[in-house]
Structure 1
Amino acid sequence: MPFETTTARLRLRRPVDGDLPFHVALHTDPRLYTHAPQAMRTEDENRCVFDGFVRHWDEHGFGYWVVEDLATGAPVGMAGVRHAGDHLNLYYRFDHDAHGRGYAREVAREAVVLATEWLPGMPVRAVVRPAHHASLRTAERAGLFRAGTVRHADDRPDEEPSVVLEAPRVVGVADVERVPSREQVLDLWCRVNDAGGAVGFAPGAGRDEVEATLARHEATMAAGRAVLGQLLDPAGRLLGLAWWDESPTPLLAHARWLYRVMVDPDLQGRNLGRLLMAGMHRLAREMDGVELVTLDYRSGTGVGGFYARCGYTEVGRVPGAIRVAPGDDRDDVIMARRLDGAALQPHGGS
């Protein structure tokens, strides 16, 4: 997980000793504790908490960031994920004057994506007071789903328990006989296509056409050359899917091709596309020897920017290669990225 990264408007960096005054000021402002005033710690207690944040970075290589405004360089909050028992806790707290700008959502979305790709094995959760509607919306827009309640240590005995929200997980399935939700896959695929998604068919394609293409993917899985990635919510509901395919050519054994990226069209804006991509990258990284991943998409769909945010670079296109309908030819756009995040290096020869 990167020690430091940026979003569209913010810099996210590791805390250092000089950030202690900001941390204390942020965590002793009563305006930020209207939903849980009993949870506000004293200045001395917050010094100890800050030391714990720094130690977590020292021990694990990730943790809560100091969030800075890219335009001014000024700190505006603290956010990120860190270990909390059997899960990773998603946290975000911003200066009162920074509220209303969408900063918490921007950072929370990035934190959950990075954790999904780089910190496998532990679910990302947030614990939020039920009356804190803005914080609940932030967690949900970051991709988390409500997964029960818990009596938090800071909850008063006469209050409702806190809400637990959990990020979806990406599960890889290599054995076609173990795909537990074939009908769910077909249902999702048809709904995405009917909603205008570029998932291999012209608008209005029938379920039988989709099923025939699914059968071809299943045959590739049965041959040991493909892995299905399924994005599942905490209850096991299918939210999205994609396939990694390998080439039978030994010269391309270090690469995989990404096909049929799709998420539930009814859940747009919930960060699920990036979470699916992050989980797929984790699956590819777990495959022996895989270093490079490639995809292609149909021009005119507006997804190039999305894939660029997932680390991909356009490496070529075939003009007019995809005929959506008579008189409607689109480019086949090819993008690639290295799994380690390094820049692509073209060969110097011709």
Structure 2
Amino acid sequence: MPTPASAPTLTTARLTLTGHAATDLEDCAAMWTDPRVYTMIGGQPRPREDVWIRLLRSIGQWTLFGYGSWIARDTATGALIGELGLIEARRAIEPSIDAAPEMGWTLTGAAQGQGYASEALAAILAWTDARIPATTCIIDPTNAPSIRLAERLGYRLRTTGTYRDAPILIFDRRARAAEPAAIAAR
């Protein structure tokens, strides 16, 4: 089992990515009530209580697994951009995706379509590729922007599965050799 860790801070040209903190609750709770956010991720707004549990899970994953997810904020303004990174969700998906950590990304409605997800995930994958041999992700079959993003990042469709009685696309990605990246980890 990995040594307990906390999220490293990653930076990109426009973003600062940090581990979750209790102070992120209100911004995250607001994000999860926006239909532009939840429509393709469960189809329902998330109650503040569920967002709090999600935040705690994100913190705990770093302790248990040595990896997890990040809060992305605009470096200049401090505005929440989204939550991105690795999760150990242990979802009841057929077929199982438990062989590799799951990569996920959720952006605020205002941040969508501006290249933030690509920018943040490039930094996260540079960090991840040095530590984890493979990741997987799941995407709603109607979420064309996320499918395109996953494919640009090197994810390849493995199969269509079932999650909560609905079809879900399952993608896999092997770690890439270290490449010079425009990120810094502090």
Fold in common (TM above 0.5): yes
Cα contact 2:70–2:85 (8 A) shared by 1 = yes
Matched, 1:130 2:31: no
Q: What is the alpha-carbon distance in structure 2 between the residues aligned to residue 135 and residue 40 of structure 1?
A: 19
Matched, 1:70 2:75: yes
Which of 139, 151, 159 lines up with 2:150 in the alignment? 139
Q: What is the alpha-carbon distance in structure 1 between the residues aligned to residue 26 and residue 183 of structure 2?
A: 35
Aligned residue for 1:149? 160
Question: CA 1:152–1:96 in structure 2 vs 1: closer, same or farther (change >3 Å)?
Answer: same
Cα contact 1:128–1:162 (8 A) shared by 2 = yes
Aligned residue for 1:83? 88
| Secondary structure of 1:115 counterpart | helix
Cα contact 1:108–1:139 (8 A) shared by 2 = no
Which of 10, 15, 20 lines up with 1:10 in the alignment? 15
Aligned residue for 1:110? 123
Query: 1:124: how far off?
Result: 0.5
Cα contact 1:78–1:94 (8 A) shared by 2 = yes
Cα contact 1:150–1:163 (8 A) shared by 2 = yes
Cα contact 2:107–2:117 (8 A) shared by 1 = yes
TM-score w.r.t. structure 1 length?
0.45
Q: What is the alpha-carbon distance in structure 2 between the residues aligned to residue 42 and residue 60 of structure 1?
A: 27
What letter is aligned with 1:162? I
Instruction: Say how many residue pairs are matched.
Output: 173
Matched, 1:119 2:137: no
**Larger Rg, first or second structure (1 or 2):** 1
Q: What is the alpha-carbon distance in structure 2 between the residues aligned to residue 18 and residue 308 of structure 1?
A: 30
The share of aligned pairs that are identical, in percent, is 27
Report the aligned-residue RMSD.
2.5
Query: 1:43: how far off?
Result: 2.3
| Secondary structure of 1:73 counterpart | coil
Query: 1:24: how far off?
Result: 1.3
Aligned residue for 2:94? none
Please list, as runs of the form range in 1=range in 2, the aligned pairs for 1:1-350 lying within 5 A after superposition.
3-38=8-43, 40-84=45-89, 85-120=98-133, 123-153=134-164, 155-156=165-166, 161-169=167-175, 275-277=176-178, 307=180, 309=182
> Over residues 17-39 of structure 1, what are the superposed CA-to-partner deviations in whole Å (9 max), with x where a residue is unaligned?
11111121112222212335535
Cα contact 1:90–1:108 (8 A) shared by 2 = no
Q: What is the alpha-carbon distance in structure 2 between the residues aligned to residue 110 and residue 94 of structure 1?
A: 16
Q: What is the alpha-carbon distance in structure 1 between the residues aligned to residue 181 and residue 54 of structure 2?
A: 37
| Secondary structure of 2:50 counterpart | helix
Query: 1:41: how far off?
Result: 2.8
- In structure 1, the gaps of 5 or more residues are 170-274, 279-306, 312-340, 343-350
Cα contact 2:85–2:124 (8 A) shared by 1 = yes
Cα contact 1:66–1:79 (8 A) shared by 2 = yes
